[in-house]
Structure 1
Amino acid sequence: METYLVGGAVRDELLGLEVKDRDWVVVGATPEEMLKQGFKQVGADFPVFLHPDTREEYALARTERKAGRGYHGFAVYSAPDVTLEDDLKRRDLTINAMARSTSGELIDPFNGKADIKARQLRHVSEAFAEDPLRILRTARFAARLAPMGFRVADSTMTLMRQMTASGEVDHLVPERVWQEIQRALHENDPGTFFEVLQASDALSVLAPELSAPPTLASALRSLNCACARDADTATRFAVLLAHLPETRASQRAQALKAPNDCQDLARLASRLAPQLHEQSDTGMTEQGILTLLDEADVWRRPERFVRLLTALTCLQPGQYGTAITLLQESANAASEVNARELMAQGHKGKALGEAIRQERLRRIAGLIPKHPH
Structure 2
Amino acid sequence: MTRLLIVDDSALMRRLLTQIFSAAGDFEIATARDGNEAIGQLTAFAPDVVTLDVHMPGMDGLTVLDRIMVERPCPVVMVSSLTEDGAEETLEAMALGAVDFFPKPRGAVSLAIAEVAPELVETVRGAAKARISRALRLTDKVRFRAGAAEGLARAKAPVRPRRAAPRPVAPRQTGPVADRDETDGSPSPDAVPAERLILIGISTGGPPALDVLLEALPAQFPAAILIAQHMPASFTGPLARRLDRLCALPVSEVTAATPLLAGHVYIGRGDADLIVSKRGGALVVLPAPSSPDHHWHPSADRLVQSAMAHVEPQALTGVLMTGMGADGAKAMTALRQAGGYTIAEAAETAVIWGMPGALVAAGGAAIILPRERIAASLVKRVRQ
TM-score, normalized by length of structure 1? Answer: 0.30
Q: Which has the higher helix share?
A: 1
Instruction: Answer 1 or 2: higher relative contact order, Cα 8 Å, separation at least 6.
Output: 2
TM-score, normalized by length of structure 2? Answer: 0.29
